[in-house]
Structure 1
Amino acid sequence: MKTTPKSSRMYGLIVLYEMHTDFLLKALDGIDEKDAQKRLETKANHIAWITGSVVQGRYFLAKSFGIDLPSITDELFANNKGIVDDAVYPSIADLKKDWLAISPRLQEALTQLRMKSWRKS
């Protein structure tokens, strides 16, 4: 674990967060930029859209902690917008750059979180 959370209840979440952070980067390794924009002759979401959606989710969560950084995904994914036909989505390289920009900031906010007891009095 890279950082120790202030709340022991957050330990498992932080471990999963770190795994997810690394997993996305490894999952994208070796994917050609032109292939990332392909919908495989279906209406399925392509890799660039899926990755952008995940990146946007992290920025959205960060905003709830007061971390309001701009992302290249802001416009294309505003208001949970689905995939837009004929739109050119950010490159995998740019999405990775955004992912690496927000991830440590959000992780720090999560480690500072103090969880209240869920037990009823």
Structure 2
Amino acid sequence: MNVKKITPLYFLITVLSATFLFACSKEPKRIPDTMPDVHGYITNIKRAATNDEAVKAEVAVKALDGVEAQFKDANIKIDEHTLIEDETGKMLTLKNLREGHEVQVWFDGEVMESDPVQAYAKAVRIKY
């Protein structure tokens, strides 16, 4: 056999195999293992009027006294990329959020330094 013909074939097989392995091993979304950016109670939920909106809801969170978190209060935006789960790791949806729920929230991207801060939520953990 000609070595020049075999080398490109092995290269192609290697690239396709690596691509397949990386595509199949995509990590599931997980709650970050860092301190939450805000930890408190939901005081208000304003859901988007249509399903076409990038932001599905805006949620106001009031911090708990005596609980350590990055920010005191926050207005968070929840979109289709936000992970929502309970303390056991069960996946939840926006429909599960209620005013009065205790939540831990991790931010994604830039934080608007207003009072309260505003940011997109990367992950929300509901504590029942």
Q: Higher strand fraction: Structure 1 or Structure 2? A: 2
Same-fold call, TM > 0.5? no
TM-score, with structure 1 as normaliser = 0.23
Q: Higher helix fraction: Structure 1 or Structure 2? A: 1
